[in-house]
Structure 1
């Protein structure tokens, strides 16, 4: 029988120690990782069991300075992983072990617009952007070659323990573009004073002045003398 853990490859990429592994036993995988300097929380050992049962491969990555007493400084270059697969799957099962709410931001490059097949125990995912890239430049250019449609998804998991599986992505019913619009309200100010306050205050001043003028006019209006009183007729 083959070994419980197979080392497909191991290499050093800058400050990263990278190992590509297969496993038929989650306990053996945990033992190998610990023996080779990869820290794995104890509660993750059983969480890896579904992936082992489905014959996944694993990429273990750790930061490894040149010497034990040297420190890492500055920004780290991102790692680009490429592999063939029959389905587009984003692993999420390990996130169910989180003790605080989790959020997911996922960018998918494909030939068409993509969507998650299910909500996997959280609120429905939202598509915040979907559109065909006409002339992507920079680092995005090579990635978008042959897969020019970008879909950006976001999802919140207020209760991570309810995550029921991994996100399996499928083609959406249409390639309808989506562009999120963010409204940014700004308060106009005049000399540091909100314009609405000046407007309301100005109207209040005008109204007060108008009432004062009316009151003054009423106060200065001459009073008409009473009509003359006719003497009573003489008694017979």
Structure 2
């Protein structure tokens, strides 16, 4: 299960996010930290947060850089001083447990025109996105950060889109992944090498551990399932067979020159 912290101050909204995430300060058993909070009351619903946890923790389990995730207990009164009525409404609708991602102070958004990524690292990210069917890592919205000289992955709420219609999950493993619009596609990602390295790590044990970190209250009352544990098993069943062969069904554009201005 995710560790939990308690929000003590709402700092500011992050208006570039469609779900209007925000920045909060939180008490982690006496140690205070800053987190990006994603709300249970946002329009996308709790499945977005489930995808964030499963994919974020899986990325970490595979050795990819991913900010720490926590559960954030929120008292809606923290937003009473916020002048934006939309933010006030969101806070009022999100009392209780929300999702937090550690705030990487000083991090920069990845710009493919200004930064370079070697084919090995690019391949690992593309392979991972293929595994989770991430449709939200394009040049328009990279969802990558540069922090202390390294590439970090964020924002996986648009992944595993089949869990919005569980009847399609059984066939999810056979579906291809179109990476032609992927932000790292111009860098010659070595997806085959990534598969050799990462696919053997995606075991039933790892996936079971990852899905166990999703708060039970975000999985209860899922239509078609009689328990939260049954939903967890369904995630494992959908992801496990995909890992072994997804690299064979990744579509990349014809290799061309790297973006102009990329730093060597």
Q: TM-score, normalised by structure 1?
A: 0.29
Quick check: which one's strand share is greater? 1
Q: TM-score, normalised by structure 2?
A: 0.27
Quick check: which one's helix share is greater? 2
